[in-house]
Amino acid sequence: MNAKLNAAVDSVRGMLDRETVVWAVVPAVTAALVTALFVVPNYVRALSMQDEAQRLEAIAGENISQRNNLKLLEANVAALRETCARRCRPLAEGAEHDRLLAAITRPTDGNVVREQSIRTGQMVPVDGVAIGGPVRRRDVTVEMTASFESIFGVLDAAEGIDQLVTPRTVEIVVLTGPIEQATEGNPAVRATMVFDEWFEAPASERAKPGAKEGDR
């Protein structure tokens, strides 16, 4: 009788142990499967999406910075163009219509302008300078015997034309002393002025930048 009772107790205990093992193992296995099938892939996907979001954010920030830089450059270019239009002089396109010579030529009257001679040098290319094409330069030498007012009138006329002209040298020598100046009332001076006249070669002549300009 006792043996049968012990056997029954052992059988019940074995069943309980198996149920305990099942209830302990099944949730753990289920949790492991859920982790392997869902949690880990979603975590990896979340990390990948986070990296992609950071990459896109960096690209967006770079694009914004480039757009701001572009706007700043456009504003600077517009300001430079305005300054150039206000302060810079255009280059002449050949000497067919020479505004400098027309502006500085003075008629001689034997009093205010006693004599004037103008010589133009050869047109020479300027190395290292190009504005849409080769740039040329020639010197224009003006020699005058005239009043101070006439001399400075020539300088003002050269400065006033809408063309790039730069004075290179100006030499003035007084021809009369103080007594003669007071007597004559219109003192004469001898002046030598050399201007640099700048040209942009026409398209038809850009292949021959060394073309010469004859003296006038």
Residue 171, pLDDT above cutoff 70 = yes
3-state secondary structure at position 56:
helix
Instruction: Say if residue 133 is in the same domain as residue 187.
Output: yes
211 lies in some domain = no
Q: What is the pLDDT of residue 120?
A: 92
117 lies in some domain = yes
Instruction: Say if residue 77 is in the same domain as residue 126.
Output: no
Number of domains the chain contains:
2
93 lies in some domain = no
* Residue 214's pLDDT band (cuts 50, 70, 90): very low
210 lies in some domain = no
Domain that holds residue 180: 99-205
Instruction: Say if residue 113 is in the same domain as residue 68.
Output: no
DSSP annotation of 207: T
40 lies in some domain = yes
3-state secondary structure at position 34:
helix
Looking at 88, 111, 133, the residue that finishes a domain is: 88
pLDDT digits (tens, 9 = 90+) for 103-144: 999 998 877 898 999 999 988 888 766 566 778 889 999 999
Q: What is the pLDDT of residue 54?
A: 83
78 lies in some domain = yes
Residue 174, pLDDT above cutoff 90 = no
215 lies in some domain = no
Looking at 67, 88, 109, the residue that finishes a domain is: 88
Q: What is the pLDDT of residue 69?
A: 87
Taking a C-beta distance cutoff of 8 angstroms, is the pair 112, 147 a contact? yes
Instruction: From 123, 129, 101, 102, select the one nearest 205 (Cα to Cα).
Output: 123
Q: What is the 3-state secondary structure (H, E, C) of 107-165?
A: CCCCCCEEEEEEEECCCEEEEEEECCCEEEEEEEEEEEEEEHHHHHHHHHHHHHCCCCE
Q: Is 33 exposed, middle or buried (0-12, 13-18, 19+ CB in 10 A)?
A: exposed
Instruction: Say if residue 20 is in the same domain as residue 76.
Output: yes
Instruction: Say if residue 26 is in the same domain as residue 114.
Output: no
User: Which tokens in the block code for residue 57?
Assistant: 């954010």
Q: What is the pLDDT of residue 16?
A: 46
131 lies in some domain = yes
Instruction: Say if residue 108 is in the same domain as residue 198.
Output: yes
Instruction: From 32, 193, 31, 41, select the one nearest 117 (Cα to Cα).
Output: 193
Instruction: Say if residue 37 is in the same domain as residue 107.
Output: no
Instruction: Say if residue 3 is in the same domain as residue 48.
Output: yes
pTM reported for the whole predicted model: 0.54
pLDDT digits (tens, 9 = 90+) for 40-82: 677 677 778 888 888 888 888 888 888 888 888 888 888 877 7
Instruction: Say if residue 119 is in the same domain as residue 69.
Output: no
CB atoms within 10 A of CB 43: 11
DSSP letters spanning 84-107: HHHHPPPPBS-STT-HHHHHH---
Question: Which region among 53-62, 145-154, 202-211 has the lowest average model confidence (pLDDT)?
Answer: 202-211
Instruction: Say if residue 81 is in the same domain as residue 12.
Output: yes
Contacts of residue 164, defined as CB under 8 A and 6 or more positions apart, other chains included, come to 88, 89, 90, 91, 92, 197, 198
Instruction: Say if residue 26 is in the same domain as residue 103.
Output: no
CATH of the domain at 156: 3.30.70
Looking at 65, 88, 111, the residue that finishes a domain is: 88
Alpha-carbon span 195 to 138, nearest angstrom = 8
